Chain A
Amino acid sequence: MELTGAEIVVRCLQEEGVEHVFGYPGGAVLFIYDELFKQDKVKHVLVRHEQAAVHAADGYSRSTDKTGVALVTSGPGVTNAVTGIATAYMDSIPLVVITGQVPTHAIGLDAFQECDTVGITRPCVKHNFLVKDVKELALTVKKAFYIACSGRPGPVVVDIPKDVTAARAEFRYPETITMRSYNPMIKGHPGQIKKAIQALMKAKRPMIYTGGGVILGGASEELTQLVHTLGFPCTNTLMGLGGFPATDPQFLGMLGMHGTYEANMAMQHCDVLLAIGARFDDRVIGNPRHFFEEPRTIIHIDIDPSSISKRVKVDVPIVGNVREVLQELIRHLQATRERLDAQALKDWWTQIELWRGRDCLKYDRSSPLIKPQFVIEKLYEVTSGDAYVTSDVGQHQMWAAQFYKFDKPRRWISSGGLGTMGFGQPAAMGVQLAHPQAPVACVTGEASIQMCIQELSTCKQYRLPIKIVNLNNRYMGMVRQWQEFFHGNRYAESYMDALPDFVRLAESYGHGGMRVEQPEDVEPALREAFGRKKDLVFMDFITDETENVFPMVPGGKGLSEMILV
């Protein structure tokens, strides 16, 4: 039987097992919305701005291992979605974004709500398609899902002109797909794995550094087993938090610009570095020249060959699926007759404990003002370390990463690569829909939250009981911190004047609101908010505006050149 393009789109989503589509209707997608209306397998979540649709799909995907789906109309629908798409691209999150387009006969004629979607999104997608023939539609959607979630994942845009959604074709959804131009490599090279084992066994000052690839590759268990087998120290990037349990004694905390003293020092001074699903980002290794001053053997496991030897020359590259490579490594380790240098390792741990003794995350606990770190510590206690935590971008993001100890993967949902303010709240919506019973906190600041604040309305419509932890210091805190350190205390445009009354704002949307001004009120407020299982509660914590994030590796400096508190 022939179906319309719109019917085909919806059938494809059903075939893929998609439960939630985040979107916003408009002229070019009206036929698709009409078909969504007629069925109830795929639930549509109406956001208030297309950026939030993509962030919500993104949060949904990060907190599960599913591909997130967003649906937006042509022109401004697409341009609004671009920030969300770029966010997902930088963090390798699998999304399929379906975009409406003006009818094929109108393309290129500057039609109403026309934009060159494929051109605009090309630099920030894994791949994109313009479907010009309804006969190609089902195959294209299949390809989109396949590309999005295989290999190094990423967002894929499918641009569908309106006339294609009205035209008819036979529907057959392919079960499997092969593409001659796309064969993501899975198995690590056995020879390289042997080389890695040799290097690891000889290590005197080893370090294991892991990133988002461990989370995306579902390799946390294997990583934990490997780290325990070897007895080596382990650090996670911002994207990799939860990949290894943060409460494990072998965990040194996050590394990088706001990483712990012990993680950064161990990274700088190790002689064998095992990097897993991480990409030696500028926020992670600081100045690469300084990083190179210390000689070390680097083993790098990644599914994307272009991530290897991009910023840092690698000695033992292993391209492959992180989980399978780790399984191979563990197998070889269990079989090897070689012994680790126990004395050297003992000395190395002694050095690390000295660094750890520096207590780099300490802060003034006697302050009469609410310290933001204290709020996160209490959030951790109140939620028993078991909440899903999303964040926006800035100081609060770093404090959440430093002070909430993530023991499980996919619990920490944050825009690491693009650093998108406005991400936290819509991402939390996606997380809450994926885990209706779980506690979901959005750690944010008074600047970031205002970038997608309209989504309070969406939260009301779908009864999403997320808890907003607003660390309100009246400043774009991270901007203010840089201005204090590097721009002579000239706080150019970083003061947030004319803030709304967040409590009344939340209440006007029908949510709960609390303003918390005293340190002793922090924990009771959190307990009350998380006790209200059915309500969104906006907690406005009035925090110390002078607080800074430490340690800090200033731009251009080396990892061991931290500013400490």
Chain B
Amino acid sequence: MRHIISVLLENEAGALSRVAGLFSARGYNIESLTVAPTEDPTLSRMTIVTTGSDEVIEQITKQLNKLIDVVKVVDLSDGDHIERELMLVKVRAIGKDREEMKRMADIFRGRIIDVTDKDYTIEVTGTGSKLDAFLNAIERSAILETVRTGASGIGRGDRVLRVQ
């Protein structure tokens, strides 16, 4: 099953490699991993999307907790949560495709953030499946480049992950 795990860790050199190394050493899957400092610059927040049986996910959270740099771990999939991913897509936009691309971006609530006479760069935000849907909806041969951030997640309502 797919799980989205949030980790608060010390914002120190090498902390990311400890997490990445743990996943490769123990053979856990990483679908995506995003990390950046929080409002408290001594802490980083990481979101890991992984898959595995209940036993494997239990081990992943325990092993993450065991890392000395890790302050807190939450499996967001245990409760209601929101997740978002950002994608930038560069597409060919010439002739009648130019209008079509604009329309598709609008339908998916995307925004065109860079324009030349031959191409658009479109920004789309949403769940991973929405981004997949956008890529499927536009002409495949028109896609010049895509870049995705991987999912970030946060608990719904008063579910908060922070250091007391």
Interface residues of A in 113-138 (CB under 8 A from B): 118-119, 122-123, 126-127, 130
Chain A residue nearest to B68 (CB atoms) is A127
| Contact residues of A between 273 and 325, Cβ < 8 Å to B | 304-306, 309-310, 313
Chain A residues closer than 8 Å to B25, beta-carbon distance: 123
- Asked if B141 CB lies within 8 Å of chain A CBs, one says no
Q: Which residues of B contact A122 (CB under 8 A)?
A: 14, 17-18, 21
Chain A hits for B70, CB < 8 A: 181
CA distance A182 to B65 in the complex (A): 9
What residues on A are CB-neighbors of B13 within 8 Å? 130
Of residues 309 to 343 in A, which have CB atoms within 8 Å of B's CB atoms?
309-310, 313
- With both beta carbons as reference points, the residue of chain A lying nearest to B70 in the complex is identified as A181
**Which residue of chain A has the shortest Cβ distance to B18 in the bound complex?**
A122
B10 touching A306, Cβ below 8 Å: no
B29 within 8 A of A: no
Q: Are B68 and A309 in contact (CB under 8 A)?
A: no
Please state if A181 and B68 are interface contacts (CB–CB under 8 Å). Answer: yes
Q: Do most interface residues of chain A lie in helix, strand or loop, or is the interface mixed?
A: mixed
Whether A431 sits at the interface, judged by CB under 8 Å, is no
* B55 pairs with A309, CB closer than 8 A: yes
Q: Which B residue sits closest to A308, measured CB to CB?
A: B62
In the bound complex, residues from chain A placing their C-beta under 8 Å from that of B17 are 119, 122
Q: Which of A180, A309, A313 has the most CB of B within 10 A?
A: A180
Chain B residues near A313 (CB, 8 Å)? Answer: 55
Contact A304 B55, beta carbon cutoff 8 Å: no
Contacts of A119 in B (CB 8 A): 17
Interface size (B, Cβ < 8 Å)? 20
Instruction: Indicate if the CB atoms of A305 and B14 lie closer than 8 Å.
Output: no
Q: A123-B25, A130-B14, A180-B163 are in contact. Are A306 and B68 (CB under 8 A)?
A: no
Query: Inside 8 A of B105's CB, which chain A residues have their CB?
Result: none
Q: A122-B18, A126-B68, A147-B68 are in contact. Are A181 and B9 (CB under 8 A)?
A: yes
For window 43-86 of chain B, which residues contact chain A by CB distance below 8 Å? 55, 58-59, 62-63, 65-66, 68-71
Per the bound structure, the CA–CA distance linking A130 and B14 in Å amounts to 9
A151 closest partner in B (C-beta): B66
The smallest C-beta distance from A342 to any residue of chain B, in angstroms, reads 38
Which partner residue on chain B sits nearest A304 by CB separation? Answer: B66
In the complex, which residues 10-33 of chain B have their Cβ closer than 8 Å to any Cβ of chain A? 10, 13-14, 17-18, 21, 25
Also in contact, A123 and B21, with CB within 8 A (given A180-B163, A181-B9, A306-B63): yes
Which A residues touch B68, using CB under 8 A?
126-127, 147, 179, 181-182
Contact residues in B for A118 (Cβ distance below 8 Å): 14
Whether A305 contacts B65 by the Cβ 8 Å rule is yes
Q: In the complex, what distance in Å separates the CA atom of A147 from the CA atom of B163?
A: 21
CB distance from B111 to the nearest CB of A (A): 39
Whether the pair B9, A309 counts as a contact (CB closer than 8 A) is no
Partner among A126, A147, A179, A306 whose Cβ is within 8 Å of the Cβ of B62: A306
Give A309 to B25 CA distance when docked, in angstroms: 19
Residues from chain A with Cβ under 8 Å of B59 in the complex: 306, 310
Q: How far is the CB of B66 from chain A (nearest CB, A)?
A: 5
Output the least CB separation between A207 and chain B (Å): 24
User: Given A122-B18, A122-B21, A180-B163, A306 and B66 touching (CB < 8 A)?
Assistant: yes
Known pairs A180-B163, A181-B71, A305-B62 / 14 extra A-B pairs, C-beta < 8 Å: A147-B68, A179-B68, A181-B9, A181-B10, A181-B68, A181-B69, A181-B70, A305-B65, A305-B66, A306-B59, A306-B65, A306-B66, A309-B58, A313-B55
Can you pick out 29 interface pairs between chain A and chain B where the beta carbons lie within 8 Å of each other? A118-B14, A119-B17, A122-B14, A122-B18, A122-B21, A123-B21, A126-B68, A127-B68, A130-B13, A130-B14, A179-B68, A180-B71, A180-B163, A181-B9, A181-B10, A181-B69, A181-B70, A181-B71, A305-B62, A305-B65, A305-B66, A306-B59, A306-B62, A306-B63, A306-B65, A306-B66, A309-B55, A310-B59, A313-B55
Interfacial residues, chain B to chain A (CB-CB below 8 A): 9-10, 13-14, 17-18, 21, 25, 55, 58-59, 62-63, 65-66, 68-71, 163
A-B interface, 10 closest residue pairs, ranked by CB to CB distance from nearest: A306-B62, A127-B68, A181-B71, A305-B62, A123-B25, A182-B68, A306-B63, A306-B66, A122-B21, A181-B10
